[in-house]
Amino acid sequence: MSKPFLSIEQLTQRYPDGQGGEFTVFENATFGIEKGEFVCILGHSGCGKSTIMNILAGLSEPTSGVVKMDGQHVSGPSLDRGVVFQNYSLLPWLSALKNVTFGVAARFPDWDKAKVVEHSTAFLAKVGLTGDTIHRKPSQLSGGMRQRVSIARAFANEPKLLLLDEPFGALDALTRGTIQEELIKVWKDTDQTVFMITHDIDEAILLADRILLMTNGPLAQVAENVEITIPRPRVRNDIVEHPNYYAIRNHLVHFLAKRSAELSGKSSDRNSPATVRFDLTGETATEDPETAPLLRAVQA
């Protein structure tokens, strides 16, 4: 089988525990992401999601293991990988537009100024920012607007991989819903590959092609790969009617409420997450034979 676009192989992260020893955040995390996929990762606070993302971004080095993108080792930050942090991290002294043009000009050094501005303005418009608003500085924007700017900035650079760390964590439900729709629209328009951390199960079901589930740390594992067998386009109010919706949702809730703790600290003999796939549209659930025992245990 050919290697996926992004491959994470045997990733382990250990940190000093502050008492002369060390603790293992996660061990042997192994998974792949295909080009154009939208993958979410869910897990409790502290299990190591941001640590994984920082390694994928090239912002930190794992204790052991490798990350390869397009067959190349990831080391150090690169314009090929765009990151949206939870806290927006816009440059406060630049306007919304300049926060976007800054990166675009670096990414496309051959473009003249007019083309950079046109491209950046188009991406801001995709997330609903037009007119005078784009000339305001971050301090003059609402939290939702700031997060829109950071999403526009990341997509406008057209990276090969977009990494989003709980991008909507600080937003109210209404704004969150609107920006989720905008995010999906930009992702569809641009065919980019997205890896997103979220705490929100419903958000993950709405957005993702598949969801990776992490057990609790320390010694966390990427234990499961849950396919979201709900066709796109997905509309928030309609997906709850889909026959697979509650099967998927209940599985995720059960994992986070119980199994993430039960499996915590246990090393697994698998070297990639078990695939879980619900399809009740044909009246029967399809189980990957590899994961059948696990699924039966879950559904008991």
Ligand X SMILES: Nc1ncnc2c1ncn2[C@@H]1O[C@H](COP(=O)(O)OP(=O)(O)OP(=O)(O)O)[C@@H](O)[C@H]1O
Q: Tell whether residue 264 is a contact of ligand X (CB under 6 A).
A: no
Q: How far is the CB of 46 from ligand X (least distance, A)?
A: 4
Report the residue from 47, 171, 213, 295 that binds ligand X according to the rule CB under 6 A.
47
Q: How far is the CB of 45 from ligand X (least distance, A)?
A: 3
Between residues 194 and 239, which has the closer beta carbon with respect to Mg ion?
194
Report the residue from 28, 37, 49, 82 that binds ligand X according to the rule CB under 6 A.
49
- Beta strand pairing call for 22-33 and 6-16: antiparallel
**Shortest CA distance to 84 belongs to which of 127, 118, 119?**
127
Interacting positions 5-24 with ligand X (CB under 6 A): 15
**C-alpha R_g of the chain:** 20
Q: How far is the CB of 214 from ligand X (least distance, A)?
A: 7
Peptide bond into 218 cis (omega under 30): yes
Q: Which does 74 bind (CB under 5 to 8 A by kind): ligand X, Mg ion, none?
A: none
Report the residue from 13, 24, 28, 50 that binds Mg ion according to the rule CB under 5 A.
50
Q: How far is the CB of 7 from ligand X (least distance, A)?
A: 20
- Which span sits near Mg ion by CB under 5 A: 43-51, 201-209, 280-288, 291-299? 43-51
Q: Binding residues for ligand X, how many (CB under 6 A)?
A: 11
- Which span sits near ligand X by CB under 6 A: 45-53, 141-149, 155-163, 231-239? 45-53
Between residues 97 and 204, which has the closer beta carbon with respect to ligand X?
204
Count of C-beta atoms within a 10 Å radius of residue 298: 16
Q: Tell whether residue 216 is a contact of Mg ion (CB under 5 A).
A: no
CB 78 within 8 A of CB 69: no
Q: Tell whether residue 25 is a contact of ligand X (CB under 6 A).
A: yes
Q: Tell whether residue 45 is a contact of ligand X (CB under 6 A).
A: yes
Between residues 52 and 127, which has the closer beta carbon with respect to ligand X?
52
Q: How far is the CB of 24 from ligand X (least distance, A)?
A: 10
**One-letter amino acid for residue 71 of the chain:** G
Q: In the complex, which residue's CB is closest to Mg ion?
A: 50
Q: Which does 25 bind (CB under 5 to 8 A by kind): Mg ion, ligand X, none?
A: ligand X
Q: How far is the CB of 164 from Mg ion (least distance, A)?
A: 11
Report the residue from 48, 62, 65, 82 that binds ligand X according to the rule CB under 6 A.
48
- Interface positions with Mg ion (CB under 5 A): 50
- Interface positions with ligand X (CB under 6 A): 15, 25, 43, 45-51, 217
